[in-house]
Amino acid sequence: MPLRVKRSIALLVLVVLLGMLMTRQVYVYTRDRSFYEAHQETGQRLLDVIGSIRVTIDQYRYLPFLLTQNRDVKDLLIQPNPDKIIRVSRYLEQTNLIAGSAALIILDTQGDVVAYSNWRESKKAPRSYRSSEFFRQAISGEQGRAFATQSSSYYLSAPIYHRQTLIGVSVMKLDMEGLKEQLSLESAFFVTDEKGQTLFASRLLEASSLLPLSSTPLKQEILHNGTLLKMKVDNDKAYLVHDVLLDDLRWRVGVVEPTKPLEQKAIVAALIVAGGFLALLLLGLYLREFRLKRRSQQEVLNAHMESEQRQRHIINTAQVGLVTVDKFGKILSVNQMVMQQFGVSLTLIEGQSLHILFADIELFAPLKRWLDGLQKGEFTPITGYEVVGQRSDGSTFPLLFSMRLMTVTPEPSYLVTIIDISRRKRLEYALREANESLEQKVEERTLALASAQHELIQAEKLAALGRMSAAMVHELNQPLTAMRNYLAIFRQVIDRPDLLKENLPLMNTLVDRMAGMTGQLKTFAYKTPDNMEMQRGSADLQGCVRNVLCHYEDRIRSEQIDVSLECQRPTILIRGDDVAVEQIINNLVSNALDAIAATGSSERQLSFHLYVQDQLGCLDISDNGAGVSKEQLKTLFEPFYTTKKIGTGLGLGLAIVQGIVRDLGGVITVKTNHPAEGLCFSVKLPLHGE
């Protein structure tokens, strides 16, 4: 056997062995990668399952604490009687139906059932939970939780206190079946206790024979990256198991994933690599034979000649101008496009310098420098240089000039590309004119929009004037009508001074009311004192708040409003006088009290938060009124705009407050607005001395 054949066989065997080794490595890598990705994916699904379980359970955690705050429940535990038991049991029954739990239970300190939501089925309910773990946890002052294996139920409990004395325990019972229905997860998951007994599982696992997992030990496998995997084999089918123990619930939650698709994926990848390697081997053999057949000098010469002919054909039929020049910049040949562009023939320009194709070349210094350097044997590649060409009749046109070195010729030569860009220049000029026209139209449109905006501002002013007129007419008509009636009474009872004495104070009150309305208009209409004059003094922000609260003390007490005052510092001195600051606080407190009273809620809160931020004294005033809508919030500080009924205000309070704050060098904003939880105004004024 010839030596050449032996070498070929040995090389073939070596390549086949290398392919087999590579195929195995691909299988191992793909399998490890697939198992690792599946492990990561099951870990994410496990987190989703745990999160869903916790969310489902957490939505019931409030129930025991809700029961501990019920007054009837505390009364029952302090002084039990049949009527109270029936009332509390019905309350538990209604709450249980709304919450969707299995049962709600009230226990005394001995663990005996005092009230039960399922009182209509009380024969089935246990009478005492004294030995239950959740009762012992709650009686010790902690939140209790426990799982009852026999009834497949989960219990949550909380202690009930009365004046810091433990008087009982509230308990919520949740069935596992109800919990599983609320999870609505598509993953194959399971939940077991610490002993491995299955509490509940997804329908996918309940229909299989995998449960319980504790029936057979789990196999362990370590991937090449060190990841530890747990697997269970059932009926020759392997499953990837990813589980974790929840410390607070003492439950073990796990997710199961079949490994057969992962194995198949690794096998497919190995087969693809093997097939590709085989294809490459066959292609290599084919190319080797093909190269041997074409290894002859005649075929190389024929290929060179064909290549040269093809190049000439491309040059002659190209849609751009092509010029070949020698190493000194002399024209050797041109294609038909160059002849059309410049109106010349090859005989006229052959042997001429490349300079004759350009007009005013002195104006294009870089191009002249490149061409002069070419005559000296210095070459610099040129790409996309714009220059002006000159035709044989003297006319000019814009062109794009490029020059590259040709490496296939025996002698150094260069290929020049010339592209006529006259059409592009015309389009650029048209585009420039269009842009100028568009800019003019934009200016005209801007002027039109400015005019429309001015008209809109005038319309808004007229609307504000209309609101002011309507409010003033209504506000002044009432006291005027009353005064007219009192005057009619005076004419009839002129001889009875005692009646005059009773009605004169009422007329005085009406006059004061009208003076107050005109005073608000005067405050809003006339300029405030000089800003520097208002800012010369200093005001104690906390003292101003307390002065205003003293003014409203009777109303706060009668309406049972809970007032809280939180101060970051004992004293916060701001720049301004006490009168202006108290007027700001007075208007905001008045609006807050009106908003709280309008809700009719039994829980009425008014909060003040005083603090320093960014060298500013800050005051946050919040209430739990009805708040305002987003549309009302946009016009809240506009004059003569009010959210109250007609007859209860002119809508100038917040506009006046904003003006005073601005004059003091501060800002007022709506910090938070919850339609169901009220408003919070934030006033920020400069500190004294800053």
Q: For the segment 428-439, what is each residue's pLDDT rounded down to a tens digit?
A: 888 988 888 898
pLDDT greater than 60 at residue 350: yes
Which has more confidence, 125 or 16? 16
DSSP 353: B
What single-letter amino acid sits at 687? L
Can you tell me whether residue 297 is helix, strand or coil? helix
Which pLDDT score is estimated for 395?
A: 85
Which has more confidence, 549 or 471? 549
pLDDT greater than 70 at residue 497: no
Which pLDDT score is estimated for 683?
A: 92
Which pLDDT score is estimated for 339?
A: 81
Question: What is the rounded average pLDDT of the residues 544-571?
Answer: 88
Which pLDDT score is estimated for 171?
A: 92
pLDDT greater than 80 at residue 510: no
Question: What is the rounded average pLDDT of the residues 28-38?
Answer: 85
DSSP 70: -
Alpha helices for 493-540 (secondary structure H): 497-525, 531-534
What single-letter amino acid sits at 137? Q
Name all contacts of 201-209 with Cβ < 8 Å and 24+ positions apart.
Answer: 205/256, 208/234, 209/234, 209/235
Task: Give, to the nearest 10 degrees, the angle between helix 3-58 and helix 260-293.
Answer: 150
Cα–Cα–Cα angle for 670, 675, 677, nearest 5°?
Answer: 85
Q: What does each C-alpha distance from 162 to 62, 87, 314, 390 come to in angstroms?
A: 19, 19, 102, 106
Question: What is the rounded average pLDDT of the residues 228-243?
Answer: 80
Which pLDDT score is estimated for 216?
A: 65
Which has the closest alpha carbon to 30: 261, 192, 198?
A: 261
Unique residue bearing structure tokens 């040709």: 406
Q: pLDDT digits over 193-218, tens only?
A: 777 777 777 777 766 666 666 666 77
Q: Could you tell me the pLDDT band of residue 641, with boundaries at 50, 70 and 90?
A: low
Q: Which of 178-187, 351-360, 483-492, 537-546 has the lowest mean pLDDT?
A: 483-492
Q: Which of 179-183, 363-367, 663-667 has the lowest mean pLDDT?
A: 179-183
Pairing of strands 113-116, 189-192: unpaired
Give me 231's structure tokens.
């697997």
Which has more confidence, 603 or 114? 114
Q: Left, alpha or beta for 59 (phi > 0: left; psi -120 to 50: alpha)?
A: alpha
Which pLDDT score is estimated for 609?
A: 92
Percent of the chain with pLDDT over 90: 5
What is the phi/psi pair of residue 683, to 5°? -110, 125
Question: What is the rounded average pLDDT of the residues 279-292?
Answer: 82
Q: pLDDT digits over 531-541, tens only?
A: 545 556 788 88
Question: What is the rounded average pLDDT of the residues 274-290?
Answer: 84
Which pLDDT score is estimated for 168?
A: 93
Q: Which of 142-146, 166-170, 564-568 has the lowest mean pLDDT?
A: 142-146
Q: Which of 140-144, 246-250, 298-302 has the highest mean pLDDT?
A: 140-144
Whether the Cβ atoms of residue 35 and residue 259 lie closer than 8 Å to each other:
yes
pLDDT greater than 80 at residue 46: yes
- Other Cβ atoms less than 10 A from the Cβ of 537: the count is 16
Which pLDDT score is estimated for 610?
A: 92
Which has the closest alpha carbon to 663: 536, 479, 566, 544?
A: 536
Which pLDDT score is estimated for 458?
A: 59
Which pLDDT score is estimated for 539?
A: 86
Pairing of strands 562-567, 605-613: parallel
pLDDT greater than 80 at residue 456: no
pLDDT greater than 80 at residue 615: yes
pLDDT greater than 60 at residue 462: no
Angstrom distance (rounded) from CA 560 to CA 550: 15
Which pLDDT score is estimated for 158?
A: 92
Angstrom distance (rounded) from CA 546 to CA 539: 12
Q: What does each C-alpha distance from 538 to 559, 618, 619 come to in angstroms?
A: 33, 15, 16
pLDDT greater than 60 at residue 187: yes
Question: What is the rounded average pLDDT of the residues 367-376?
Answer: 75
Q: Could you tell me the pLDDT band of residue 161, with boundaries at 50, 70 and 90?
A: very high
What DSSP letter does each residue of 86-103 carry, written as one string?
Answer: HHHHHHHHHHHHHHT-SE
Q: Could you tell me the pLDDT band of residue 526, with boundaries at 50, 70 and 90?
A: very low
Q: Which of 34-43, 166-175, 416-425, 649-658 has the highest mean pLDDT?
A: 166-175
Which has more confidence, 4 or 568? 568
DSSP 160: E
Whether the Cβ atoms of residue 144 and residue 165 lie closer than 8 Å to each other:
no
Which has more confidence, 57 or 622? 622
pLDDT greater than 70 at residue 299: yes
Can you tell me whether residue 340 is helix, strand or coil? helix
